[in-house]
Chains A and B, each alone.
Chain A
């Protein structure tokens, strides 16, 4: 165990969507926390739901955990019954000190990683996590920026800065390239670009006013993309 990061993986119980085996394999060295969230509607008191479903939900969660343990990872499981999934994720991430949240998706290999960057907010953390992923895989990385009216800095500055920082982590910089796009809305760009990549790493940066109204970018992307997506949290 050499990582500085702890990854929270939320599952919707019962019948959770599984994590791509290739992702589990490469997470072998990173601490993971598996959060099983069992959704209960308004009608059902939490205690009643837990009494009835706790055993089987925990069994499902343990089964998921076994896959991670099989590749030698350190795994913690948490089981939550309730109504507010997003809040549960936030709370458990805080309690368990997780700085990255992974949403499951499909991937056959981790060869290409897309890293959309927007600003400086949690650049260090994102870069450090990408560096760790690069150590654990042979993947190439594309640092990406979609120009939008919300930009506080020119995209090139952001990308250059990220490139330098990534270099400081000691990874092979031949595996890293850039990409900037000028048009379209960032969400669409990221989702369609994602088709050419296996995994996404996104920052959960402070939502702009527009995003507060239209929904946060990471949420929209993870909802629409097929790729496993690591969302690096703000702290």
Chain B
């Protein structure tokens, strides 16, 4: 009689939550970094990245309707492939989201500094201060409602649309030639690099337990938000490339690196010359919202893993005064702080994408394992179309992108995998005895039960 869940999110809220989680660093910070890799063809890279995300989004939607409880990526992979892969995916997804949040905070710092006459050298310090405030805000507990989120997303989308309409008139078509400065390989590398721009679709699954009519609204919300974002990204990036001097994009950032504020750089050409200020303000809203949501969502990973005995129990603890999972948020905050302080900004973005690709690839495998195991408790309301070809494409394309990213991201991917294995062997294995649907598939466990944590 006391088992009560609140289902309060409709389709529109679901789409805006997902879009709100996507709109941020991917569009306000990454375009110039991608431009440096692929030239004007970075536009195509955004489309390619969206296509590679799609299978994982569909797979995830399917699993979310079979297990509409919170936990998201980690939970699905754990229940499908057992705690070893659960550990790898949980840590990978957690890292990816924290890397992305730290990157958003650095970008936020860069846009803030456009508004005040302070040298760009302070970007890191500003980002660190912002990180502290976001973490404190999350520990105290925010009341950011679905409606407030919807308002911010709507405002940002309107601003982006105006940017495209007004900036479209100022485009210099010479900027698109040559289109592929670094060949097709450049597009693939850039796609891998901007992959993280779509990571926000993850957010929907983590609020799955609050979505009304999940069988319809979850998959539809994921698809709608993904398609809309592909369209927005493509158009906005096309304008960014079209109205900016290539030299500014490639060398206008801190220490002569790529610009971190590409959308404001061409500001004098749009909105009657006030473009830089207007875009900066919009960017600050979007990036703040993203960093806040990122810390909120990423702290769920240590929490969920702790509830499943893969992480020390203290990370499930909910603070009595603030009613928030203080320890999980503090751990996430510590990682966030360390990343901003010690990791160069370009590497933050690359690693965030690399971890994301890794996790999304595993998600595609997870759905295959579920279906092939044939366990009764896996009964999704929504079945991903094109199975299993879509999943195979997602897996192959994901690893294809990963191999094109260069040494550090590949090492990062391998490192997370090994780290996950070591952590599982040292900590998780002795504390868990579930084997997921994979155990059923391999004949080890006759009755893989989705709901039992252990």
Contacts and interface: CB of A to CB of B under 8 A. Distances in A.
Nearest to B306: A48
14 contacts: A43-B142, A45-B300, A45-B303, A46-B209, A46-B210, A48-B316, A48-B318, A52-B316, A52-B317, A53-B318, A79-B2, A82-B4, A83-B8, A84-B6
B138 A43 contact: yes
Given A42-B144, A78-B2, A88-B4, 20 more contacts: A39-B323, A41-B141, A43-B299, A43-B325, A45-B71, A46-B209, A46-B210, A48-B316, A48-B325, A53-B318, A58-B2, A77-B1, A79-B2, A80-B4, A80-B6, A81-B4, A82-B4, A83-B8, A88-B6, A91-B6
- Main SS class of interface, B: loop
A45 B329 CA distance: 13
B303 to A, nearest CB: 6
Interface of B: 1-2, 4-6, 8, 69-71, 138-139, 141-145, 209-210, 296, 299-300, 303-304, 307, 316-318, 322-325, 329
A45 B207 CA distance: 9
B379 to A, nearest CB: 20
Given A43-B296, A49-B318, A78-B1, A87 B8 contact: yes
Contact of A44 (B4, B6, B323): B323
Contacts of B143: 41-42
Contact of B323 (A47, A49, A51, A78): A49
A58 B300 CA distance: 25
A40 interface: yes
B5 A41 contact: no
A82 B329 contact: no
Among the interface residues A45, A79, A92, which one has the most CB atoms of the partner chain B within 10 A? A45
Interface in A125-179: none
Interface residues of A, number: 28
Interface string A41-69: 11111111101111000100000000000
Contacts of A80: 4, 6
Contact of B8 (A44, A78, A84): A84
A98 B259 CA distance: 60
Interface of A: 39-49, 51-54, 58, 77-84, 87-88, 91-92
A168 to B, nearest CB: 38
B325 A46 contact: no
A48 to B, nearest CB: 6
Nearest to A61: B2
Nearest to B292: A42
B4 A78 contact: yes
B249 to A, nearest CB: 36
Nearest to B303: A48
B318 A47 contact: no
B235 to A, nearest CB: 31
A41 B142 contact: yes
A47 B70 contact: yes
A171 B299 CA distance: 60
B454 to A, nearest CB: 15
A98 to B, nearest CB: 15
Contacts of B141: 41-44
A67 to B, nearest CB: 19
A47 B69 contact: yes
A42 B296 contact: yes
B70 A42 contact: no
Nearest to B139: A43
Contacts of A88: 4, 6
